[in-house]
Chains A and B, each alone.
Chain A
């Protein structure tokens, strides 16, 4: 029993570290797209691990936590994708480090045609 609780504590701690890295990522990254990358994904893994840790400490909560985990796992990529597309269509600039932009070529062809 004790072992399970301590494991839960460690898993939660690792999840919290990932949450911190995600929020550090949105401060450090140079443009919106890279912020979406680090922001919404490191935090997904962080939240998942934190919830699993809480579930290991309180096994009777696991059913509700599973609903929460799957909900986050399915909705988070959708919201980051919608945000990225919105950012691109209102013309948010890519950083100067960008090496290639295939989408620009493709949209350019549409306008010509």
Chain B
């Protein structure tokens, strides 16, 4: 049920943004079409089932968004600095980190966040381990790498997705 509800809300917001209008015709036709699509697909594909909908999770979602945007800018400047410096100061390697998240969509968000903050790129996921290509390796053991890469995002995602 929650899965269905979140699917409808997501699809309807995309539809309204694409139309850029709030006239009754647009809203009603959008509701009908998104409800049909959501009923067909959410039964087979329960991706949003693990999402929590309490107020704390929603507040943390927005906090997470701001943290993520800040990290995106900071890390992009870092990579830009590496690209334009003549000596190309890179120190790459593939490290292993562990995550506490259990739900699939939580891990998807974690892997996407790690990939989007430059310097780190998720190569593979096995059980609890994420293998990450790191452009500037500063600690090769699992605990140190986990602390540096994952924890900043995980404390928010844990509240949102569990």
Contact = CB atoms under 8 A, between A and B. Distances in A.
Touching in the complex, A and B, CB below 8 A? yes
Interface of A: 18, 21, 24-25, 28-31, 33-34, 36-38, 41-42, 44-45, 60, 63-64, 66-67, 73-74, 76-78, 80-81, 84-85, 88, 94-95, 97-104, 106
Nearest to B111: A81
Contact of B17 (A63, A84, A95, A103): A63
A81 to B, nearest CB: 5
Q: Top 3 A-B pairs ranked by shortest CB distance?
A: A77-B115, A100-B93, A63-B20
Contacts, number: 127
Given A18-B76, A38-B79, A106-B131, A100 B17 contact: no
A4 B96 CA distance: 45
Contact of B92 (A25, A34, A63, A84): A34
Contacts of A100: 93-95, 137, 140
22 contacts: A18-B76, A25-B79, A25-B83, A42-B80, A63-B20, A64-B20, A67-B14, A73-B116, A80-B121, A81-B121, A81-B122, A85-B123, A85-B124, A88-B123, A88-B124, A99-B140, A100-B95, A103-B94, A103-B123, A103-B124, A106-B96, A106-B131
A97 B17 CA distance: 46
Given A63-B20, A81-B111, A85-B123, A102 B131 contact: yes
A84 B121 contact: yes
Contact of B83 (A21, A95, A97): A21
Given A24-B84, A42-B83, A63 B135 contact: no
B99 interface: no
B17 A67 contact: yes
A84 B91 CA distance: 18
A81 B18 CA distance: 28
B133 A77 contact: no
B41 interface: no
B79 A37 contact: yes
A45 to B, nearest CB: 5
Contacts of B80: 18, 21, 42
Contacts of A106: 96, 126, 129, 131
Contacts of A81: 111-112, 115, 121-123
